[in-house]
Each structure stands twice: as structure tokens, then as C-alpha cells.
Chain A
Amino acid sequence: MQISFSHSKLFNTRHLSRLTAATLLGGAALAGALSLSAPALAQSDRVELLNVSYDPTREFYREYNELFNQYWQNENGQTVTVRQSHGGSGSQGRSIIDGIDADVATLALAYDIDALHDRANLIPEDWQSRLPNNSSPYTSTIVLLVRDGNPKNIQDWDDLARDDVEVITPNPKTSGGARWNLLALWGYGLEKFDGDEEQTYDFVRQVYANVPVLDPAARGATNTFVQRRLGDVFIAWENEAILSVEQLGAGDYEIIVPSLSILAEPPVTLIDNNVDRKGTREVAEAYLDYLYSDEAQHLAAKHYYRPSNPDILAEYSEEFPELELFTIDEVLGGWQEAQQRFFNDGGVFDDILEEINTQ
């Protein structure tokens, strides 16, 4: 059986199913091997998974769930029903900690998944090295969305610090996505000022002095920029920006790709405690592994996420222009450190906002 009480056995099963999952990807030739290990799970012909995710992935996972169901049915004869939950990345993470029965978590930033280990020990500490590419099957970056014709002539991050430009970005204290925005700005500042932190701080402060409204979440900020027509430039995830341009009429907005930006890696993980209790480890692992398959990578690109597979990414070079990308680990020492330094109470963001609003 899948669930066992002894620790060592548990470990073994995990390895076994990890292997199975790899075999699955190997292709139909190995289907025989699969059928040997599959009966452990194939108790019924239906299985249900819960994927707890963040807001903008709604459409992507709706299609991916169908794709995965077909794949799993072919391989295994089981019907997989994947239930989806979407919301702000941080609050979704907290629901998992508080006990929602998630099999997999697909959140906006590693910090929110780290908390699943730190706060509730639901996953091992090394979760992020379990899957390729920092457990991020698709990536994105932070770009600038401006109004049609780019009336303020915004070309790069520098222009956001100009006095005549109003910038829309959500509050990084409450929005996971907005944290990427500030870090992208910071990384650009460091590059521009040769690592001078004081100048970088001033630069980022000047940009935030141009922010008239701090919406608590990304969707609210989109609303402010698009419906309220407030602001000249909207700092956005690339996938959200392309979506806005496609959905809201191509003539109304333009995407400006800055010279340098941050590589946003929304990671995925299995919730070990939950899948072992529910006996869904094998199918949940396959669900995540299959995100790296060619079909799923194309699907991610269709929903404006950059595929992590470089060959497939290259096929979409028109949608995803090349730009210099830095990672949070390289420049800012990882999420834990960045969160502590920039976003916790008394951090850089608090300092900046206090300076701006109490002068």
C-alpha cells in the first residue's frame, strides 16, 4: 500500500514513485514498468487532487488540468479531477498552513512555499531542488505597461523616477507580485549605480514617490490603471501585461520591455504531508512533472508564461523578447533575506514610504 507508518518505508515509497514519475515522462515505451508500480494506487478509477494556486494562473490550470487528465487516463486508466483554488499567493499559503487539503501548491513566490516548511513542516526544507529549474516549470518577468502611443515616452526603469510620471503598482506588504516589482527596480538600480546602495535607495524612493495609490492586490491595481485610467505606467508581470493588451483591446496599451529585469519564478511543490495521508503522492507528483512536458510548456506559453524549456521558449521569441534577467538569489540573496530586508516591518519599503509620506 501507499501509506505506511514506518519512516524508512515512507522514504522508499517516495523514491519509488519519484522514479515512476520520471518513467512516465520517459514515454510510452516504459508503460510496462509503470503498470507494475501503478496498482498500488489504482484502487479506484477516479482520483481527486487539490491544486492551491494564485490569481493569474486560473486560465492556465483550467486547460492544463484537462491535458493532464487525458495523459493520466491514457497511462493509467484513472480519471483525475483537479479542484482549483485561487487567491492572493500569501493568503493561499496561509490556508495550506492552516490545514486546507492541498495536494500541490503552485504559488507566486518561493517565500510563500518556504513558509509551508518553516511554519507547519508540511514539506522538506529542500523542496525547491526536487524539480528542475528551481521547481519553476514556467517563469515570467516584470515589464512596463503604458498607454497607447506611449505619451510619456517611457523606455526603461529610469523614466519611472521622472517627476512627470505617475506609477501604478500594488502594495508589496500585501501583494506577493508587487514584491517582484520593487526587487526588479532595486536590481536595476544596483546595476546602474555600480552596486551603490544609497543611490539605489534614492532611485527607488523617487519611483515610489510617483505612486499615487497602493492597491492591496495586483487585480485591484490593474483595475486602477485600466478602469480608473490613473497613472502613466503600470509595473506588471509579463503574463498579466500581455493578457491586458490582448483582452482589453490591442490599441489601448503597449508593453515596454525594460533593458534589465528580474526573473520571476513562480514555483510548484507537492505537499508531502497531505499526499501521504491521502495516498495521492504518485498522481500528484506526475501532475507536477508533467508541467515540464512539451505539451504543458506550449500551454504555458499560450497563457503568456515563459516556458522553462529553452527550446520551446525559443519558438516564442516574438511573444517573449529577450532581455537581461537577474535572479533574486544572485542579486538579493534569496527570498528569505529579501523579505526580511525589504518588506518586513522597519524594512526598506517602510523606510521609503515613511520618508515620502511624512515629509
Chain B
Amino acid sequence: MGFTLLYMGLVFLIPVGAFLLYATTMSWETFWSAVTQRQVVASYKLSFGGSLMAATINLVFGALLAWVLVRYRFPGKRIVDALVDLPFALPTAVAGIALVTLYASTGWVGQYLDVFGIRVAYTQLGVVVALTYIGLPFVVRTVQPVLEDLEAELEEASASLGADRLTTIRRVIFPALFPALLTGYALAFARALGEYGSVVFISGNLPFRTEITPLLIVAKTEQYDYHGAAAIGTVMLIAAFVMLLIINGLQWWTSRRHG
């Protein structure tokens, strides 16, 4: 216990604490004007909105993928299972360059989308694509073990008691999976919020349009405006913390309700 706390302190709390302490060395006015610049506010919308969308997409498809990986047998299943972790292992810049190569209007995928007038690279859609890509493993990896524990007999029992497929999903499977889904969602969201490496390649980084908040933090450090960078960082940290708190609270509430 003591060791754990020490570890937590050294690795996590001290850097975050030092960072927050640094942010408090500036006056409230400086802080406020740094975090409410129009360009910065526009980037919050993209960063938070894009991260929420990406996490939502991952929630749906991550759960599906986990389901398929647990319940179905097919050739190459182990390979697919291993591939899920790829976004963890790949340097994010590589992921970004790969995505932009695919989705640029000259790319393998992009040229066909272009026919329909859909542009991914250098748009907000591109940001969501990149964030979805890097967040994929989180939902799969949190839902998968819970699904593995959920025996098929449970569904059979439900069916034999007269429940149709939809009712079984709604009343039996979903409540069991709900906490894991939420955790995966929260992790995918948090990861997307802080992502820099892959997004800057695909987004185009146009202020007010496709500029994410982490890029602005980098831009601030480039002009030695460490205070401004810390101020924006603080806003992101607090917002992310509040969202994670809400999600955790929701999880606690449902687990109490379902006992």
C-alpha cells in the first residue's frame, strides 16, 4: 500500500502537481484571457467534440468486435485479436502518416470517397478518423474479458424463460456489460483528448477549423509562452477529469442499481 502510494506520487502526482502549481503562478486575468481566446475556444470544440464522437464510434464497433472475438470461431481469429492492439504499439506519427496516405484524395481509399464528394484528410472528419483509430483497443480490451466470463448458458436460460433475442440483449447481456463499456468509453475518450502525433498529420491544422487543442499547446511553447500552454493544459485536465468523474459516477450508480 505504501509502495503503491509512493509510486503513484512519483510517477503521476508530482508531474501533474508541478504543472498545476506552475499554472497557479499566473494571475487570474492572464489565465482567463489565455484560455478564452477565440482560436482556443474553437479548438476545444473540435478536441472535445471529436473525442466524444470517436469514443462513441469505438463504443459501438469495439463492443461488436469484442463480441465477435469471444463468441465466434473463424480462421485467423488470433491474428485479428493481436491486430486490435496495433494502435497501442504503432508510433502515432506513423499511424497519422498511414491514415493520411490512405485518405488523401489521391490515396487508396480517399480517391473513391472523393467521387462521392467525401473528403477525409485535412477536414474535421479526418480528426475523428484518427482519434477513432487510436482509441479502438480500449473498448475491445475492457469488454472482451467480461464477455468471456458471461456464459452462453445465461442467454440460453433467458431464451428458455421466453425472452426473445432483443429482450435478452437488453435485460441480460447489456446490464452485465455496461460497466465495462463505460470504462472503455472513458479510456478511449481520454486517450483521444490528449492525442497529438497522429492527428496533426491528417487534420491540416487550420485555426478555427481543424486545429486541436494539443497543437495550440505546442504552438505556445514554441513562442516560450509556458504560462499560456499551462493554462490551456489545465483547462483540458480539469475538463477531462470532470468527464471521467461523471462516467465513473455513472458506473458506480448502475452497479448499485443492478446489485
Tell me whether A and B are bound partners: yes
> Which of B3-11, B15-23, B164-172, B198-206 lies at the interface?
B198-206
Complex Cα distance, B108 from A227, in Å, reads 13
Complex Cα distance, B41 from A358, in Å, reads 13
Interface pair A173/B122, CB less than 8 Å apart: no
Cβ of A171 under 8 Å from chain B: yes
Residues of chain A within 8 A of B104, CB atoms compared: 228, 230
Among A213, A230, A344: residue with most chain B CB under 10 A: A213
Interface pair B106/A357, CB less than 8 Å apart: no
Residues of chain B within 8 A of A212, CB atoms compared: 122, 204
Cβ of A350 under 8 Å from chain B: yes
Q: How far is the CB of B122 from chain A (nearest CB, A)?
A: 5
Interface pair A216/B218, CB less than 8 Å apart: yes
Report the nearest A residue to B100, measured CB to CB: A228
| A216-B215 contact given A354-B38, A357-B207, A357-B208, CB 8 Å threshold | yes
Interface pair A119/B205, CB less than 8 Å apart: no
Residues of chain B within 8 A of A213, CB atoms compared: 122, 204-206
Residues of chain A within 8 A of B37, CB atoms compared: 345
| A94-B201 contact given A350-B39, A354-B207, CB 8 Å threshold | no
Interface pair A357/B209, CB less than 8 Å apart: yes
Interface pair B205/A115, CB less than 8 Å apart: no
Interface pair B39/A216, CB less than 8 Å apart: no
Q: Mark A198-239, 1 if CB is under 8 A from B, else 0.
A: 000000000000001111100010010001111000000000
> Which of B135-143, B155-163, B180-188, B223-231 lies at the interface?
B223-231
Choose one: A214, A345, A354; the contact of B228 (CB below 8 Å). A345
Report the nearest A residue to B104, measured CB to CB: A228
Among B106, B207, B225: residue with most chain A CB under 10 A: B207
Residues of chain B within 8 A of A354, CB atoms compared: 38-39, 207-208
Residues of chain A within 8 A of B38, CB atoms compared: 354, 358
Residues of chain A within 8 A of B209, CB atoms compared: 357
Cβ of B219 under 8 Å from chain A: yes
Complex Cα distance, B208 from A212, in Å, reads 13
Cβ of A174 under 8 Å from chain B: yes
Interface pair B204/A214, CB less than 8 Å apart: yes
Choose one: B201, B206, B220, B222; the contact of A220 (CB below 8 Å). B201
Q: Count the A residues whose beta carbon is within 8 Å of the partner chain — how many?
A: 28
Cβ of A189 under 8 Å from chain B: no
| A-B CB pair tally, cutoff 8 Å | 71
| A174-B222 contact given A223-B97, A229-B106, CB 8 Å threshold | yes
Residues of chain B within 8 A of A343, CB atoms compared: 223
Q: Mark B206-247, 1 if CB is under 8 A from A, else 0.
A: 111100000100111111110010000000000000000000
Q: How far is the CB of B61 from chain A (nearest CB, A)?
A: 27
Cβ of B92 under 8 Å from chain A: no
Cβ of B101 under 8 Å from chain A: yes
Cβ of A353 under 8 Å from chain B: yes
Report the nearest B residue to A94, measured CB to CB: B221
Residues of chain A within 8 A of B225, CB atoms compared: 344-345
Contacts A/B (CB < 8 Å), 29 sampled: A91-B222, A94-B224, A115-B224, A173-B219, A174-B215, A174-B219, A212-B204, A213-B205, A213-B206, A214-B204, A214-B207, A215-B200, A215-B201, A215-B205, A227-B101, A228-B101, A228-B106, A228-B107, A229-B106, A230-B104, A339-B223, A344-B223, A344-B225, A345-B37, A345-B223, A345-B225, A345-B228, A354-B208, A358-B208
| Residues of chain B whose beta carbon lies under 8 Å from any beta carbon of chain A | 37-39, 97, 100-101, 104, 106-107, 121-122, 200-201, 204-209, 215, 218-225, 228
| Residues of chain A whose beta carbon lies under 8 Å from any beta carbon of chain B | 90-91, 94, 115, 119, 171, 173-174, 212-216, 220, 223, 227-230, 339, 343-345, 350, 353-354, 357-358
Given contacts A94-B221, A216-B200, 19 further A-B contacts (CB under 8 A): A91-B222, A171-B219, A173-B219, A173-B223, A212-B122, A214-B205, A215-B201, A216-B218, A220-B201, A227-B101, A228-B121, A229-B106, A343-B223, A350-B39, A353-B39, A354-B38, A354-B39, A354-B207, A357-B209
